[in-house]
Amino acid sequence: MANSDRIDETDQKLLDALAVNSRLSLKELAQAAGMSSPSAAERLRRLEERGIIRAFTIDIDPAAVGYPLQAIVRVRPLPGQLHIVEKLIQEIPEFIECDKVTGDDCFIARLVVRSMGELDRILDKIAERAETNTSMIKSSPVKRRLPPV
């Protein structure tokens, strides 16, 4: 990592404040980092240009919008079906996250559903093209968080 690519203490303060609340006003963000609003705005611009900040987004609780169940689904496409299975996963909106991985399975995905019956109906859409192994999520002791920088 080049010296100019490093995250300094001020950048870290900005990132930490945004991680807690991405809706902070520029004034509040500047205060959290101990700097002026124009300086904070310039720092944010540089963090975006460097690709460190990719988006300002929201975090929705799936249960609050009708999806009380979540599952981790390991997906192993049958021979010749990799690209078709990948497209199917992308097209099914209940798959809210998916990683292509090494190892026995090709994909590890997070799925939200309203019921076990809905889980079966969704998995049936890919059953002819892939083997799946599903684990229901009981709790998430570590929510998605920033990596140590």
User: What local confidence, expressed as pLDDT, does residue 63 receive?
Assistant: 96
CA distances from 102 to 72, 79, 99, 123 (A): 16, 16, 10, 21
pLDDT at 4 over 90: no
Going by pLDDT thresholds of 50, 70 and 90, the confidence category of residue 148 is confident
Mean pLDDT of the chain: 94
Rounded CA gap, 36 and 28, in Å? 10
The structural domains of the chain, ordered by start, are: 3-49 (1.10.10.10), 62-136 (3.30.70.920)
Q: Which of 111, 95, 22, 28 is nearest to 87 (CA)?
A: 95
Distance CA 125, CA 33 (A): 49
Residues contacting residue 85 through CB under 8 Å, at least 6 positions apart = 75, 77, 106, 107, 126, 129, 130
Q: Give the other-Cβ count within 10 Å of 112's Cβ.
A: 22
Q: Would the pTM count as exceeding 0.75?
A: yes
Please check whether residue 110 is in contact with residue 95, taking contact to mean a CB–CB distance below 8 angstroms. yes
Residue for token digits 């705005």? 41
C-alpha to C-alpha distance for 35 and 44, rounded to whole angstroms: 12
- In this predicted model, what pLDDT tens digit does every residue of 79-117 receive, in sequence order? 999 999 999 999 999 999 999 999 999 999 999 999 999
